[in-house]
Amino acid sequence: MQTLIPYLPNFLLIFCRITAFFVVAPVFSTRGVPPTFKIGLSLFLTFLILMAAGGVKEQAVVIDAAFIIAILKEILVGLLLGFMAYIFFNAVQIAGSFIDIQMGLGIANVIDPMSGIQSPIMGNFKFFIAVLLFLAMNGHHFLIDAIVRSYEWVPLDNNVFTRIATGEPSDFLIQAFVSMFGLALQMAAPLVVSLFLTDVGLGILSKTAPQFNIFVVGVPIKIIVGFLLLIVVIPGMLYLFQDLFRSMFESMEQMSKLLGTVPKSS
């Protein structure tokens, strides 16, 4: 105990990064995960990291005026890594929004029990599939591995604010947003294009047979076509989500490198 007590500030810094990561990380940040479980898991991981990666191998941190800045830096690193993973999960919700608009379900939103906010019906459905596949692929283990390995790139004596001042993490975050929308469009493209062609067919029908009330007939037809296409597309979602998860972990690794590399001299 006398050996570990001087490293109590290191323990607190590691605990700040882990808890900040779990606040925004997908799956762990959902309302279905009890806060006591998050705190217990954070304490357990903090102890492991302290003994293995980011603790007793480094110099003991002294609690002084700069310790508050160190706490803010660790919280910022955890939030950035967790948010990087979270925005790629949002691609599923955005893809569902694209599909809902084409199917005519854009007005009908439901409460997502995972996040507690309103979300589109198709987005909520795809999000549940993504979470199930993520857990089946042991994605939660890779998330924990990512935050543990972040200490290889961003140790406790990091200078995150200097790295952020270079603008590289901010530029990469913007690129991640662009990639998120691109992936969302790829996931929604088959149904969006098919439903657009359905709209074209309904438009031709309204011109050739004006006696049909196209607004009454078109809505159920688009919903039926949308669900039939969804049944066809669901088996291929496995490969789409694999690409999504791979891009997510690659982005988290790249963000860790940007936060941990030495900035270029001007």
- Output the pLDDT for position 106: 63
- Output the pLDDT for position 266: 38
pLDDT, mean of residues 165-186:
84
For residue 166, which phi and psi values (nearest 5 degrees)? -70, -20
pLDDT, mean of residues 78-91:
87
Residue 103 in this model has a pLDDT that exceeds 80: no
Q: What is the pLDDT of residues 112-160, one digit of tens each?
A: 555 556 666 777 777 788 888 888 888 888 888 888 888 878 877 777 8
* Token duo for residue 234: 């669901």
pLDDT, mean of residues 84-94:
84
pTM, rounded to two decimals: 0.78
pLDDT, mean of residues 176-199:
84
In this prediction, residue 264 has a pLDDT band, given cuts at 50, 70 and 90, of very low
Q: How many other CB atoms are found less than 10 A from the CB of residue 214?
A: 15
- Percentage of residues of the chain with pLDDT beyond 70: 86
Please tell me which residue, 109 or 101, carries the higher pLDDT value: 101
Residue 163 in this model has a pLDDT that exceeds 70: yes
Crossing angle for the helix pair 214-233 and 65-103, to the nearest 10 degrees: 120
- Output the pLDDT for position 1: 52
For the chain, give the mean pLDDT.
79
